[in-house]
């Protein structure tokens, strides 16, 4: 536990320093957020806030490179860095175009899916975590079909988590705070089942998220952008797969699941009924905003929901 606490503090310290350096640099380079045109009107005041602060999460994970000789650690770091790179391109395009319009959703999905395939193929021959994965474990003693099922579910787990977390990143501190509980659960599982990649990566990320709240809590001085949300989504999903608990993401990532489902249901219902809506606005956090909740209350309630979902997930595993 002493080592775990030290790792958490290291992630916090690295992100805190990186954030202090990144904030004036991003401002000087004019890397500023442009509010969504369809977002609540209160969000227009957020235009001009420095974005791409998610680079601090990659910086905070650099200590993982000390275990570069461990294939699983190396591959998880590369997964996070690659997805952060996709997010960085998206953010740069948005800044250049002067509006919140970066990569097309389809392009972003395909790029992250490609990164997911490369990650899953890279760890395919690893031995540390497969005994924990029910789907793959069945495949080692049966037909090759479960292996393919594991691969397909892995792609869906990574891309789904990435884009669900990206949708959650819509209020000050929302994605940052809701990431901490599931990251801590995966860190605990990584320690329990001796999976250093999951334990170290998630502890560093949890510490980094705590530090990023210094800059990202309401009123936010800096946004993570897609650079950060894609990186955090990749970390959570990659660590869950490394721990052999990819299906647990549905539980501990309950907030992200709800946010993604709210968009899917809203769009489907809108098209089917010719313009009617179930929610005032999606993703789900905007529904509560338009219902009169202050932004800080929505964020706090979603943080609490994330903690509860994560506690349930941990109880299921134990």
- Express each pLDDT in 96-143 by its tens digit: 887 767 788 899 999 999 999 999 988 876 644 444 555 554 444 444
CA 230 – CA 226 distance, rounded (Å): 6
Q: Reply yes or no on whether the pLDDT at 317 is more than 60.
A: yes
pLDDT at 126: 60
Q: Reply yes or no on whether the pLDDT at 229 is more than 90.
A: yes
Q: Is 276 exposed, middle or buried (0-12, 13-18, 19+ CB in 10 A)?
A: exposed
Tens of pLDDT, residue by residue over 138-163, are 444 444 446 777 788 899 999 999 99
Task: Give SS3 for 139.
Answer: helix
The C-alpha angle with vertex 218 and arms to 214 and 221, in degrees rounded to 5, equals 60
CA 212 – CA 50 distance, rounded (Å): 13
Average pLDDT, the chain: 89
CA atoms within 13 A on the CB side of 196: 14
Mean pLDDT, residues 15-43 taken together: 85
Helix then strand then coil, in percent of the chain rounded to 5, is 75, 0, 25
Q: Reply yes or no on whether the pLDDT at 167 is more than 60.
A: yes
CA 154 – CA 125 distance, rounded (Å): 15
9, two tokens: 């503090």
CA 148 – CA 99 distance, rounded (Å): 40
CA 109 – CA 131 distance, rounded (Å): 30
Per residue, the 3-state secondary structure of 55-84, as one string, reads HHHHHHCHHHHHHCCCHHHHHHHHHHHHHH
CA 298 – CA 284 distance, rounded (Å): 10
Task: Give SS3 for 32.
Answer: strand
Euclidean distance between the first and final Cα of the chain, in Å? 18
Q: Is 317 exposed, middle or buried (0-12, 13-18, 19+ CB in 10 A)?
A: middle
CA 127 – CA 141 distance, rounded (Å): 15
Residue 32 has φ and ψ, to the nearest 5°, of -120, 150
Percent of the chain beyond pLDDT 90? 71
pLDDT at 231: 98
Tens of pLDDT, residue by residue over 236-281, are 999 999 888 888 999 999 999 999 999 999 999 999 998 899 999 9
Tens of pLDDT, residue by residue over 171-215, are 999 999 999 999 999 999 999 988 888 999 999 999 999 999 999
Nearest to 44 by CA among 110, 83, 89, 99: 99
């Amino acid at each position: 536990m002493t080592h775990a606490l030290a790792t958490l503090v290291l992630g916090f310290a690295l992100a805190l320093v990186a954030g202090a350096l990144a904030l004036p640099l991003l401002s000087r380079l004019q890397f500023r957020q442009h509010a969504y045109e369809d977002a609540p009107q209160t969000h227009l005041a957020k235009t001009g806030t420095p974005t791409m602060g998610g680079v601090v999460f990659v910086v905070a994970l650099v200590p993982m490179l000390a275990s570069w000789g461990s294939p699983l650690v190396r591959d998880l770091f590369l997964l996070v860095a690659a997805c952060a790179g996709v997010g960085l391109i998206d953010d740069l395009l948005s800044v250049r175009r002067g509006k919140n319009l970066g990569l097309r959703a389809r392009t972003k999905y395909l790029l992250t899916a490609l990164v997911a395939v490369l990650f899953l193929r890279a760890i395919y021959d690893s031995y540390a975590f497969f005994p924990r994965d029910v789907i793959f474990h069945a495949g080692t003693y049966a037909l090759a079909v479960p292996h393919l099922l594991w691969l397909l579910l892995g792609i869906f787990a990574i891309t789904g988590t990435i884009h669900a977390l990206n949708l959650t990143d819509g209020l000050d501190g929302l994605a940052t705070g809701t990431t901490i509980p599931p990251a801590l659960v995966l860190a605990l599982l990584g320690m329990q089942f001796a999976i250093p990649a999951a334990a170290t990566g998630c502890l560093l990320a949890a510490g980094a998220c705590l530090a990023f709240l210094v800059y990202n809590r309401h009123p936010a001085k800096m946004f993570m952008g897609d650079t950060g949300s894609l990186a955090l989504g990749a970390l959570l999903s990659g660590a869950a797969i490394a721990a052999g608990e990819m299906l647990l993401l549905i539980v501990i990532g309950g907030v992200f699941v709800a946010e993604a489902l709210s968009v899917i249901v809203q769009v489907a219902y809108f098209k089917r009924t010719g313009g009617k809506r179930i929610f005032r606005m999606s993703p789900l956090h905007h529904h509560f905003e338009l219902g009169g909740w202050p932004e800080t209350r929505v964020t706090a309630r979603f943080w609490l929901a994330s903690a509860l979902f994560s506690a349930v997930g941990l109880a299921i595993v134990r």
